[in-house]
Amino acid sequence: MHIVGRKQEIAALRSYQESKKPEFVVVYGRRRVGKTFLVKEVFENGFCFYCTGRKNEDEDERPTEALGKQLSAFHEALVKYGGRGIERKDNWFDAFLQLEQLIENTKGTGKKVIFIDEMPWLDTPGSGFLSAFEYFWNSFASSRPDILLIACGSATSWIVKKLFENTGGLFNRVTKRMHLAPFTLAETEAYFEDRGIVMGRYQMVESYMIFGGIPFYLDLFEKKYGLAQNVDLLCFGEDALLRGEYRSLFATLFRDSENHHRIVRALASKAAGLTREEIVKASGVANNGHLTEALEDLALCGFVRKYQAFGKRGKGAVYQLSDPYTLFYHRFIADGKVTDPNFWANGYGGGAQNAWRGYAFEQVCLAHVQQIRQALGIGGIVVNSSAWRSAAGTPGGAQIDLVLDRADRVINLCEMKFSTREFEIDKAYCAKLESKARAFAAETKTNKTLHTTFVTTYGVKHNKYRYAAQSEVVMEDLFQ
């Protein structure tokens, strides 16, 4: 077994295998994050049964055809794992009865590991999959202490709604939930080192700003090239492997994705994020249940961050595009205007890239709030993270993308700046910072102490305006 990182997840899966009771474990997370690889490596493919759903390639596919394709995949797996000579059934109840028989006939001691990968794909419209699966677990598997059932899927919204929030036969049946998050910067560094890819931390942060901590993307890097060359090779070159990745992601996650696309396009045009009402106006998606569902899907699948503005409860939620590759795609690839196969290398350090870097670095920081807290020495203090922007119509409209509201009555107002050198605060910017803090105090009516905190690549330059930053976090801290 060779896995970089994921120590806690590996230990957890091992403990489930050693459990003395039946276990129903759900592994979920963003597509391409390495869920299948993790499970296969931990159990070294030693499954009693392993099946994966088949991606729907045809949106116009009839329900009977979709059902048949998934049942065929299930039948082929049954045959592979010992059910030779059995016929393919035409419904899920009979198919799961065949799985029960296969398990009964499997010899040996210890846990019998049943791995159903991409479960959401198996649940085609009108197929009755979920009812049959419920019956399989409740009538058979849940009474057998020798069974470890692992369900996996990238369509996180399906996992949450159909398994975690199930009010029918699967209510409270999941015994363990395992969310597999993208790599942190520290894990990304370890992954590159393991692959023999030589890259400084500055460029490592840049790579994270484009690809996030997604192992599938990182695994595509060619170690003989630098970062800019790899970006061109994967995103802009002829037959670039990731040029169509965005469309592929949405096609595999959402059955009807037009609203999702329209929402993401609207969010991509506004770095600060949008309220629900602003999304309706910018996207043209009607303000109804379909909008609610699409926003929930995007948030659960890791494309969008939903946050409550500081000091507001209930209403006032803001939605912000948070997936690095989706942001990068809409900034540089979506409109098809870039035709230079060496666009990234040729434009490195140019205005378009620098404008994007500022926002992309903020997303890296927001993915490492725990590391920022540790660097500030407040890892053990209760902290509420949020964002804030001044009321509509306020002259000069101020915005703070990360507010750390601490239990020790201090609030850190975080400024996140990506720079090739120490960031320098000049007279004008110092005045802007002071004005922003005053606006925050006045609008929120807080009586807590306000600290302006800079999160930068190489720190804040010491000059006569350095006093405007009460504390700072540097790039190295994000790798802890």
Domains with residue ranges and CATH for the chain: 7-179 (3.40.50.300), 245-332 (1.10.10.10), 368-478 (3.40.1350)
pLDDT band at 315 (very low <50, low <70, confident <90, very high): low
- The answer to whether residues 129 and 163 touch, using CB atoms and an 8 Å cutoff, is no
Query: Which residue type occupies 412?
Result: N
Residue appearing with tokens 């015994």: 175
Q: What is the mean pLDDT of the chain?
A: 92
pLDDT tens digits, one per residue of 406-421: 999 999 999 999 999 9
Half-sphere exposure of 240 (CA within 13 A, CB side): 24
User: Which of 479, 209, 202, 465 has the alpha carbon at shortest distance from 355?
Assistant: 209
For the chain, the straight-line distance linking the first and the last C-alpha, in angstroms and rounded, comes to 25
Q: Check pLDDT > 90 for residue 130.
A: yes
Q: What is the spatial distance between Cα 233 and Cα 368, in angstroms, rounded to a whole number? A: 28
pLDDT tens digits, one per residue of 351-403: 888 889 999 999 999 999 999 999 999 999 999 998 888 876 566 678 898 99
Alpha-carbon dihedral sign for residues 380, 441, 368, 159? positive
pLDDT band at 59 (very low <50, low <70, confident <90, very high): low
Q: What is the spatial distance between Cα 291 and Cα 285, in angstroms, rounded to a whole number? A: 7
pLDDT tens digits, one per residue of 394-407: 666 788 989 999 99
Query: Which residue type occupies 358?
Result: G
State the pLDDT at residue 338.
Answer: 87
State the pLDDT at residue 58.
Answer: 66
User: Which of 431, 400, 394 has the alpha carbon at shortest distance from 415?
Assistant: 400
Q: What tokens were used for 335? A: 């409109």
Across 1-10, 15-24, 121-130, 407-416, least confident range: 1-10
User: Which of 477, 475, 480, 442 has the alpha carbon at shortest distance from 203?
Assistant: 475
Across 50-54, 199-203, 242-246, least confident range: 242-246
Q: What is the spatial distance between Cα 101 and Cα 98, in angstroms, rounded to a whole number? A: 5
* Phi-psi label, residue 294: left if phi above 0, alpha if psi -120 to 50, beta otherwise: alpha
pLDDT tens digits, one per residue of 144-164: 999 999 999 988 989 999 999
State the pLDDT at residue 336.
Answer: 83
| Residues facing residue 450 across a β-bridge | 411
Q: What is the spatial distance between Cα 185 and Cα 193, in angstroms, rounded to a whole number? A: 12
Longest Cα separation, the chain? 82
Burial class (CB in 10 A: 0-12, 13-18, 19+), 190: middle
Please tell me which residue, 409 or 300, carries the higher pLDDT value.
409
pLDDT band at 465 (very low <50, low <70, confident <90, very high): very high
Mean pLDDT calculated for residue range 29-56: 92
Burial class (CB in 10 A: 0-12, 13-18, 19+), 470: middle
pLDDT tens digits, one per residue of 63-121: 889 999 999 999 999 999 998 889 999 999 999 999 999 999 998 888 999 999 999 99
Q: What is the spatial distance between Cα 92 and Cα 195, in angstroms, rounded to a whole number? A: 42
Length of the chain: 480
Per DSSP, the three-state class of 418 is coil
State the pLDDT at residue 52.
Answer: 96
| Four-point Cα dihedral 240, 243, 244, 245, nearest 10 | 100
State the pLDDT at residue 349.
Answer: 80
Q: What is the spatial distance between Cα 58 and Cα 246, in angstroms, rounded to a whole number? A: 17
State the pLDDT at residue 250.
Answer: 87
Q: What is the spatial distance between Cα 344 and Cα 61, in angstroms, rounded to a whole number? A: 39
Q: What is the spatial distance between Cα 270 and Cα 55, in angstroms, rounded to a whole number? A: 32
State the pLDDT at residue 396.
Answer: 63
- The answer to whether residues 331 and 421 touch, using CB atoms and an 8 Å cutoff, is no
| Residues facing residue 452 across a β-bridge | 413
pLDDT tens digits, one per residue of 231-269: 999 999 888 999 889 988 888 888 788 999 999 999 998
Name the pTM for this structure.
0.91
Per DSSP, the three-state class of 397 is coil
Across 112-121, 200-209, 269-278, least confident range: 269-278
Instruction: Report DSSP state, residue 54.
Output: P
Q: What is the spatial distance between Cα 139 and Cα 88, in angstroms, rounded to a whole number? A: 22
Per DSSP, the three-state class of 49 is strand
